[in-house]
Every structure is written in C-alpha cells, then in structure tokens.
Amino acid sequence: MENCNTQLDFKNSNKMKKYLLILAVALASNTFAQSPEGINYQAVVRDALGATITNSPVGLKLSLLQTSSTGTVVYEESFSTFSNDFGLVNVVFGEGTVISGSFANVDWSMGPYFIEVAADVAGGTNYSVLGTQQLMSVPYALYAKSTGSSFSGDYNDLTNQPAIPTMTSELVNDSGFITSPDDADADPTNEIQSLTLTGSSLTISGGNAIDLSGVNPQLTEAEVDAYVANNGYITTEVDGSTTNELQTLSVNGDQISLSNGGGTVTVPKPVKLETGARTNMCVGSTSPGAGWTAYSASSISITVNTSGCAFSSTPTYFTSVGGLGNHFQLTGTSAIYSPTATGFILYVKRRDGTALSPVDAATDGWFINWQGIGD
C-alpha cells in the first residue's frame, strides 16, 4: 500500500482574509474491499501562519481526473465535514455526495488518475481549487474489479475463447477406445463365450479346456468339524448319549403312547349314524359340467335324478361338489331342496355374490356327488 502525502499552499483572491494550508493524504486502500467502495482521504487544515483550524466546518470537493492533472473529470463529489481537535478532516472518496459520474464504474486500469482538491473553509460550496495530486497506487480490489485480467465468471465474457468439442469425433482417440458399433473384426458377437462341463472337463468356447478330476469338492472330516465348530453347531451330546432323545409311538386299543415320557392320548370313538330300519344306500354323481340351469343372475341350479336307486320313500340325501377348479368358491352345495324318492334340487352361488351362469359350471366341469340312505 502506498500513501500519497502532499502539502498544498493556497492564497485566496484579495477578497479573502485568510490563507489556507492543507496537508492532504490519499490512502491507497479500499474500505473493506466490498460495497460501498472508496478511498480514504485525510487532510490537515491550517491557516496562513501554519496554525491548525480545529473544530470548524469545512466544505470539500474531490474530483478524479484521468491521464493528467488537467485531464478529463471522470468522477466528482462533495463533502460537508468538520475538522477535529487536531485540524484533521477524514472522508472516504467514493462515499460523498455525487456531483457527476459513478465511482463504481471507474475503470482503474485506464490510469493514471489524479485527485483535484477544492475547499471552502467556511463549510459552504464556494470551493477554491487547492491543487492536484496523482494517485500513485490504486487499491487492489478496485483495480481487480475493472482490470482486463479479472473474470466475471461468465464463459461468454472471455476473449479468445477455446473451442469446446461437441462430438467425440473431434477428440483425439489416443487411448484406442472403440468408436464404431462394430469392433475391429466387424463381428460384434464373436467375443461371446460359453462354458461347457463334460465329465470332469470344463471347456470355454473359442478358448481352452481344463481337467477338474483333480479337484475334490468333498470336505474332509477335519474341515467339516472346523466348519461346524465355527458356526456354533452341536458336535457332542451334552448328556453323553446319542440315542436317549429318540422316541417311539405305540398303539394299545384306542390309546396312542409316546415313549420316554411323551404321554398318552385316547382316540375318540367314531360317531355311529343311526339309520334306523333303513337299509338301502345308494350313491352317484352328475356328469361334469352338465345339467346346470340359470336360476338368477348370480345363481344356478341342478336337478339330480336318483330314480335308479328305487327308493320306496324319500331318503336322506348327502351332497358335495367336485370339478376341475373354482368350485371352492361355491356355497349351497349341501342344501337339499324338494327331495323325493327319485331326486332333489341344488341351488348354488358364489360366496362373493358375483355373477354366475351355467357356462361357468361347464367351463370348470362342476358336478354333484350324492349319497342317499333310505328304504
């Protein structure tokens, strides 16, 4: 960082009764290198005898001139400030009241630049030019903002932009990558190989064969023991007996027993069907898928003919349904309607109440198994 110190003597016109001596210091530093941007400027205000003018209003006008001390004014601003107990005034060039130009838009790379100082010791705006001094150093952050070596981050702001390849054919294939869908021999499938095991010979197509006869996949006893031990399996009997956990079943009349304290259960006696004096039992079934008629949109019926049994009176009928499939969905298969000595009627439907037709019965081959007990 470079400080610019200049002592400026100025004598006003005959109407002025005072002389003004200003020691100006332009500090080449950026205020925190962030917005707002500026250059610290400090001056000592003295009278013609060299005494400091303290605690008094001072009006300042600072102008930024390009190229020379009489060059073009690219920025100008004013300040209304006070000298302190030591006669110092401190301002930040770039944060005053703008008269013309834009401090933020100054291109610091297009220097050199000069600061022209004008003052009104009465604190007004009747400025008198005190002198001009060159900025020997521009704050780095300000220069970097406008210099040609800075980069906005936008690729489109670059000059001499490098060409970016958009196709792989524009790149140099210095690693030998395959760039064609067909490989070097124009056959994309001839590298595909398969394994074949014949006896103990393992062969890979287009390659070689190896003999596996020397490879024994069976584990040794020691290897089995090591594997079992490593996985926590029981390798010895806790009680030293390998047979005392074995049990046998035995039957004695209607009782089934399990050895070694396993207990005994009694098998229930079968229920005897009391048929009274009836001695005629007849069984049969209908033809698969045949004889079914529609009863409603969701039910069908079938009339079962038992006349071949020659019952002398209405027997007791028992039924079940069979078929190729889906008959487990049916309900009503054991509900007998209109029983007589020569037959009865069954009505069935799906449990979920969906549509049912004789076509469904024919497709799935449903039939009725029946049994009659009577005279």
Confirm if 268 and 274 have CB atoms less than 8 A apart. no
Q: Please, what's the b/e burial string for 70-82 (b: 16 or more CB within 10 A of its CB; e: otherwise)?
A: eeeebbbbbbebe
Give 14-49 pLDDT, tens digit per residue. 333 344 444 444 443 444 344 457 888 888 888 778
Mean pLDDT of 303-322: 90
Lowest mean pLDDT among 68-77, 140-149, 299-308: 140-149
pLDDT band at residue 367, thresholds of 50, 70 and 90?
very high
pLDDT for res 12:
36
Is the predicted pLDDT of residue 199 greater than 80, yes or no? yes
Cα of 43 vs its chain's centroid, Å: 62
> Tokens 């439907």 identify what position?
349
Is the predicted pLDDT of residue 359 greater than 90, yes or no? yes
Give 115-154 pLDDT, tens digit per residue. 999 988 888 999 988 889 888 766 555 555 555 556 667 8
SS (H, E, C) 244-308: CCCCCEEEECCEEEECCCCEEEECCCCCCCCCCCCCEEEEEECCCCCCEEEEECCEEEEEEECHH
Give 84-123 pLDDT, tens digit per residue. 998 899 999 889 999 999 988 888 888 889 999 998 888 8
Residues 6+ apart with CB under 8 A from 140: 30, 33
| 329 or 6, higher pLDDT | 329
All structural domains of the chain, each given as residue ranges with its CATH number in brackets, are: 3-146 (2.60.40.380), 280-374 (2.60.40)
How many other C-beta atoms can be found within 10 angstroms of the C-beta atom of residue 44? 17
